[in-house]
Amino acid sequence: MEQYIADVKAGDIEKFSYIVHQYERQIFIYCSRILNSEQDAEDAIQEIFFKAYKSIDSYKPKYSFNSWLYKIAYNHCINILRKRKVYEKAKSLLFMEERSKTNTDVHERSIFSPAFEKVFLSLSHAERSLLILHVFHEKTYQEISEITGTSSEAVRKRISRTKMKVKKTWMEREDEEEWTFSLMKTKA
């Protein structure tokens, strides 16, 4: 991979297509999980690879290229989520409407099971990103540290706390469903 990067830095732009081919799928999966939308992820990867190409001269082999590229993807997705949040706030202020989604809209966009989706979406963007990088993309604490710009010990602690939060939320949700189910049985 380092040779392809060196060739691109030297002006051989054709070699960049190999780099895109090597990383396109995993960056797409990462973005679609963070953004919770395959369409947004498709748009995002184009911009991410464009940013990577434009800034490839700044890449230093001190960190792995994989981590460098994921850092670009991470920052890009976080920016999209921030813009989305601002847009949603502005929209609700301007139109004073509640955002309504039908169950089919949510189901079509869903990447996880509906039950896990609720738990997963209750996490902050940063917590979701850490879990996706660690669990689904099997990144080490050190790699995630390089991507997020925090220490590997801080990453380890945040992932541990996030896993505990998921487990707690999941257990509370199961208890709530059990209670609701038993209440429905007594009313029947």
- Domain residue spans in the chain? 1-100, 112-188
In tens, the pLDDT along 34-82 reads 888 899 999 999 999 999 999 999 988 887 899 999 999 999 998 888 8
Indicate the pLDDT class of residue 105, thresholds 50, 70 and 90: very low
Q: Residue 121: what residue type? A: L
Averaged confidence pLDDT in the chain: 79
Q: How many Å apart are CA 56 and CA 9, to the nearest integer?
A: 7
**Per-residue pLDDT, 89:** 58
| Across 175-180, average pLDDT | 56
Coil, strand, or helix at residue 182? helix
Q: Residue 119: what residue type? A: V
Indicate the pLDDT class of residue 23, thresholds 50, 70 and 90: very high
| Across 153-172, average pLDDT | 88
Does pLDDT of 15 surpass 70?
A: yes
The residue assigned the tokens 């169950």 is 103
- Highest mean pLDDT (candidates 36-40, 105-109, 113-117): 36-40
User: What letter does residue 113 receive in the DSSP assignment?
Assistant: -
Q: How many Å apart are CA 154 and CA 144, to the nearest integer?
A: 10
Q: How many Å apart are CA 111 and CA 108, to the nearest integer?
A: 8
| Across 12-25, average pLDDT | 91
Q: How many Å apart are CA 26 and CA 7, to the nearest integer?
A: 23
CATH of 1-100, one of 1.10.1740.10, 3.30.200.20, 1.10.3720.10, 3.30.390.10: 1.10.1740.10
Q: Which CATH architecture has domain 112-188?
A: Orthogonal Bundle (1.10)
User: What letter does residue 179 receive in the DSSP assignment?
Assistant: H
